[in-house]
Structures are given as structure tokens and as C-alpha cells.
A and B are shown apart, each in its own frame.
Chain A
């Protein structure tokens, strides 16, 4: 007699086979020590490795994009994930979140596969810490509120900035934190993860913008004096900006922490 293909035994066997196939993939640790410096750039571009929530309003009600981006970058360089272990308890998770703002140590989020999963579970706590980080720096040091430079510059100036950024991102393989100075006191921030040359002197910029979960592409051509702010294809001409690289030496901290911790 011919055996029916939908037999429960066959189904169970297939299920077992496929679970055997996929379980190791799901429970595999994502260890930051196993990445090369340049692959850490690529790590940040994957959506599962990004903070699950967008730039929240924060306690000052002006957005915490600067701190969101800095925490995103810290997590990219200093946070491993091990879903095969028992999930961290609330206190352990809080300590991990605190340390994420401190750029101090390499950590592992036990019981989580990636940053998206962890930040979904602890979105309230992370948002609050971002807000407090903002408050701390705002009250102790009001400098950031004064802006970082003009919101439009000469074509030569912007061209020089683009060359420097290209060197930082493409040659040194760093993820660059940039403040986007808009008219007045308004300033945004993003992380530049990649840059490609286009034509004779143009560039394509790939950036992580805390206002969206999607990677953003910007195009530079010589002659530009500022960029119009575009988010997911929607343009905000009044928010045109000039990008300024900040915290450019943080990558040295990352490199030192990784070098010391990963060699143990």
C-alpha cells in the first residue's frame, strides 16, 4: 500500500529535520570579537543590529538623536549576543544599558539574538537612559546647544568635508558620527557607515538615521553648499544641513577595548 505523504510520522520527521537544521543558526552567538574592523561597519547596516525604536522625543522634547546614534554605535562595537544562554534578568539588563552609554566595556546580551530583539524588550529603559544622557550633558555642558557650525558652507568647504569623510569611512573603515547642523539651533545626527565615489568627484553616502529604521542614501556632487534633509524619500528643504564629524576619536576607544578584551 502506498503511504500517504501527509502521514503524521513523516511530518514529525520532517519537522525534526528542519529544526535540527535551523536551531543552530538561531541560537548562534553573535560575538563582536569574531568581526574584522571593516565588517563591524557592515554589522551596523543590518537591520537586526539596530536599535528597534526611532529617535524618541526625550525629556527636553527635542529628540535624542545624538545619543541614539552614539548608543547605536557603542552597541555595534561593544555588544555581543548569545541567544543560547539564559536570558539576563532585569537588573543585569539595566547594567548593560548603563554601560552602553559609557563606551567602557565589551558586554554580552545573554538570551538575545541581536540588538533589535534586546532593544524591543527594553525600549522604555533604553529611551529613558538616552533622555537622561541628554539631560546630563545638557546641564553639565551646554555647548552642544549652541550648534557646531553654519548650516551652509562654500562649495570648496563641503567638498573638503566630503573628502575627509571618505577617508574616515572608506579608508580607515570607521563608522563616523556626524552632527547635521540645520538653520538656527536645530541639529540632527547620523552615523555614516559607507561611502562610494561616483563619477569624477561625487559620493554616495550610506547613513543610519535615528529617525528611521531604513538605511539612508545621500548623493553629493561638487558645487553643493548643503544637503537637503531627506528621510525615506521625503524631503524637508527647510532642514537643509551641513554635516560635521564629532567624537572622531571614539573609535580608538573601541579599538583599545576590543584589542584588550578579545585577546583574553
Chain B
């Protein structure tokens, strides 16, 4: 009996020592890995920057950056939509390239209006995405989302690309929850602004 207890104690002790040794060895291995994030390379090819400087007033992006990062809802969402829409209005006419951040030297473009716009657009669209997910489980959110998307689709004072994204999502939401929105969407679609219809038709997509 005494021998058994001794054996168990020894086994526990050995296991503990092995575990500690394994853990520390692994941490050390991680710490001493050869190069630490050295992006060794030759000279990268940088494309000529399409300068849109001053095309987007700082106040626009500042407002956007300061807006809440919570899920879009009522006022916040409306505020965000206005800011995004305003940004699109301004940059849209300058054939803005969303890839601009990929083709220019990082340090120079990180704070550029184009980069801030792109980041804001991604934030905005992700929020819409989360609303769409929540709308699948929650009727109230589904209603709010539908209303929001309807409003931004119909708002002719905003940029076409922005309205087209809203329209695309409106159609998706209606398809997903056809019992809830089927009739409303059918009635709405009949009054869809022609330019939105055209935009959706021209894109080689399958909405």
C-alpha cells in the first residue's frame, strides 16, 4: 500500500516536471526563432499613385472615424450612411480605386483619404452583414434592416454605388425572408429607380 502511494506520488512528480520542461522548451523555441518579421526583399514595385488628395475633406472621414463602432442602429446607422454617401459622392467622380492601398507605399497611404474611405466602407459593409445575420433570428432586426435598406435604396440624393449595395442586400433579405418581406419587396421593386435597376442588370451577377 505504501509502495503504491509512493509510486503514484513519484509518477505525479515526474509528470509535472516533464510538463514544465515541455512548456518552457516550447516557449523558448518560439522566442528564438531565426528572423523576427524581417520582410527581406528586393525593391518593391510601386505603382504611380493616383492622387485624390484633398478630394475628400478631412471632416468627412474624421466624422466617420469618430462614429460609433457598434452595430448599426437608427441614428448611428443613419449618420454613418450619410457620411459614407457623402464620401462616395466626392470620390466617385474621381474614379477612385479601392486597390490604391495595395499598390502604394504603406507609410504614405495609411492616413490618406482613400485609405480612410476604404476602411470606413469595409466597416460599414461589415455592419450591414452583421445586421443580416441577426435579421435571420430576430424579427425586429429584420424589420429595421429592411427599412434601412429600403430608405438608402430610394434616396436619390446619395451615390449610386451606395444605393446599389443597399438594393442588393434588400433583395437578399427579401429572398431569405420571403414570408416576411416578399410582398413588400415586390411592391417596392416595381418602383425601383431605373438607374438602380440598370446598375444591377449591368453587373454580371446573380442576385
List 8 extra interface pairs beyond A125-B130, A141-B96, CB under 8 A.
A1-B1, A22-B19, A24-B19, A38-B34, A101-B122, A129-B130, A136-B121, A140-B121
A193 to B162, CA, bound (A): 36
Q: Mark A1-43, 1 if CB is under 8 A from B, else 0.
A: 1010000011001101110111011001001011111110000
Is there an interface contact between B1 and A256, defined as CB atoms closer than 8 Å?
A: no
A258 to B106, CA, bound (A): 13
Is there an interface contact between A136 and B125, defined as CB atoms closer than 8 Å?
A: yes
Q: Mark A64-101, 1 if CB is under 8 A from B, else 0.
A: 00000000000000000000000000010011011001
Interface size on A, residues (CB 8 A): 70
Is there an interface contact between A28 and B23, defined as CB atoms closer than 8 Å?
A: yes
A133 to B130, CA, bound (A): 12
B93 at the interface (CB under 8 A from A): no
Is there an interface contact between A21 and B19, defined as CB atoms closer than 8 Å?
A: yes
Dominant SS among interface residues on chain B: helix
Is there an interface contact between A251 and B129, defined as CB atoms closer than 8 Å?
A: no
User: Which residues in window 86-131 of B have CB below 8 A to A?
Assistant: 88, 96-99, 101-107, 119, 121-123, 125-130
Residues of chain B lying within 8 A (CB to CB) of residue A172: 40-42
Given A18-B15, A60-B205, A132-B128, answer yes or no on A140-B36 (Cβ-Cβ < 8 Å). no
Could you list some 23 contacts between A and B, CB below 8 A? A1-B1, A13-B11, A13-B12, A17-B15, A24-B22, A25-B22, A28-B26, A61-B207, A94-B126, A97-B126, A103-B101, A128-B129, A129-B125, A129-B126, A129-B129, A137-B98, A139-B164, A139-B168, A139-B199, A145-B204, A256-B106, A256-B107, A258-B37
Is there an interface contact between A37 and B40, defined as CB atoms closer than 8 Å?
A: yes
Taking CB as reference atom, which chain A residue is nearest B171? A59
Is there an interface contact between B207 and A60, defined as CB atoms closer than 8 Å?
A: yes
A16 to B13, CA, bound (A): 11
A129 to B19, CA, bound (A): 41
Q: B125 → chain A, closest Cβ, in Å?
A: 4
Is there an interface contact between B119 and A102, defined as CB atoms closer than 8 Å?
A: yes
Residues of chain B lying within 8 A (CB to CB) of residue A262: 36-37
Residues of chain A lying within 8 A (CB to CB) of residue B190: none
Partner of B33, one of A35, A135, A174: A35
A20 to B15, CA, bound (A): 7
Given A129-B129, A136-B122, A141-B98, answer yes or no on A36-B15 (Cβ-Cβ < 8 Å). no
Partner of B36, one of A36, A59, A98: A36
Q: B99 → chain A, closest Cβ, in Å?
A: 7
B172 at the interface (CB under 8 A from A): yes
Is there an interface contact between A59 and B203, defined as CB atoms closer than 8 Å?
A: no
Is there an interface contact between B121 and A125, defined as CB atoms closer than 8 Å?
A: no
